[in-house]
């Protein structure tokens, strides 16, 4: 995909930008940052906070709901009444009374990247929708050098390792970002510096993340052991030539290999048993 406006500039996409706490870091790492956020209140806050960067055309704020649909105009979005980080696109099933339903402009993955250009890094952090956007992105042959997604669903990892052709991985634990990455050395477009990441930010990406890159099997075993949750899975391709190639039909075998291993793992069996017992106890109480 070629940019129709930004040529070969280094572009970072912050999909699920929230209040913009990741933007200052990304501005140090790229020529242009595209911050995608559905919540209009948070977008207004970012527009005031980064007025200078917007004027300098270093930052673009996309106030829209990013979807995997083919054609969208206006779509429902659910804003949490007290915790904006919990706002989401899919209709909430847990305590829906805590959400306000609004209709917002929608935009597809293809539209977004066609308008702004091919990404250097994509951060995906959309409540309960990360894996859907990730699949759409990969199906449209958008495979940036660096990419990350929050691991509330194992499908985020499986898609990166199979359909994405990625073979090197790291994990950033969201709960420890502000402490572990305080006064942390990072590389920027102008050199090296020390940076402190705020609480609730996604933290560093790529080579700025602590630790060595591991292969897919090693990361999968870590997830089997430690579980999912507030963790971002970061991926890159060691051979960028291979990254540009479309995955062969074997990616489906790789997908189901990891998916079935996850489903039959002891931790997932125990989780299903606990869920069954919980539902059964609720029925007894109501009964």
Which CATH number goes with the domain that contains 274? 3.40.50.150
Residue 198 located in a structural domain: yes
Residue that has been written with the tokens 């209009």 in this structure: 40
Residue 181 located in a structural domain: yes
Torsion-angle region of 217 (φ positive above 0: left; ψ -120 to 50: alpha; else: beta): alpha
Q: What is the structure's pLDDT at 4?
A: 45
Q: What is the 3-state secondary structure (H, E, C) of 79-106?
A: EECCCHHHCECCCCCCCHHHEEEEEEEE
Q: What is the structure's pLDDT at 168?
A: 97
Pairing of the two strands 121-124 and 146-150: parallel
| SS3 assignment, position 202 | coil
Of 28, 33, 30, 24, which Cα lies nearest the Cα of 57? 33
- The tens digit of pLDDT for each residue in 185-211 reads 999 999 999 999 999 899 999 999 999
Residue 2 located in a structural domain: no
Q: What is the structure's pLDDT at 1?
A: 43
Distance of CA 115 to the CA centre of its chain: 20
Residue 94 located in a structural domain: yes
Low-confidence ranges of the chain (pLDDT < 70): 1-7, 71-72, 241-244, 276-287
Count of structural domains, the chain: 1
Residue 155 located in a structural domain: yes
Residue 4 located in a structural domain: no
Residue 3 located in a structural domain: no
Transcribe 21-36 into DSSP letters: TTHHHHHHH-SEEEEE
CA distance 88 to 150: 14
> Residue 238's domain spans which residues?
11-286
Query: For residue 115, what is the DSSP state?
Result: H
């Amino acid at each position: 995909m070629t940019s129709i406006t930004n040529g070969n500039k280094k572009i970072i996409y912050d999909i699920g930008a929230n209040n913009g706490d990741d933007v200052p870091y990304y501005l140090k790492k790229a020529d242009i940052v595209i911050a995608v956020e559905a919540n209009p209140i948070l977008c207004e806050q970012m527009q005031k906070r980064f007025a200078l960067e917007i004027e300098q055309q270093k930052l673009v704020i996309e106030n829209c709901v990013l979807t995997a649909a083919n054609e969208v105009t206006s779509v429902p979005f659910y804003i949490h009444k007290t915790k904006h980080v919990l706002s989401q696109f899919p209709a909430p099933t847990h305590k829906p009374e805590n959400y306000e339903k609004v209709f917002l402009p929608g935009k597809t993955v293809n539209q977004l990247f066609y308008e702004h250009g091919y990404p250097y890094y994509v951060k995906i952090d959309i409540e309960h929708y990360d894996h859907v956007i990730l699949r759409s992105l990969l199906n449209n042959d958008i495979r940036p050098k660096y990419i990350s997604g929050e691991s509330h669903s194992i499908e985020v990892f499986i898609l990166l390792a199979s359909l994405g052709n990625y073979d090197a991985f790291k994990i950033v634990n969201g709960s420890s970002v502000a402490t572990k990455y305080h006064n942390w050395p990072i590389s920027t477009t102008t050199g090296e510096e020390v940076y402190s990441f705020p609480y609730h930010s996604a933290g560093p990406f790529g080579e700025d993340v602590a630790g060595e890159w591991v292969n897919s099997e090693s990361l999968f075993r870590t997830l089997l052991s430690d579980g999912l949750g507030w963790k971002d899975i970061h991926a890159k391709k060691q051979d960028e030539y291979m990254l540009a190639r479309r995955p062969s039909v074997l990616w489906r075998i790789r997908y189901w290999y990891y998916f079935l291993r996850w489903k039959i793992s002891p931790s997932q069996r125990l989780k299903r048993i606990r869920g069954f017992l919980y539902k059964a106890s609720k029925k007894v109480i109501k009964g």
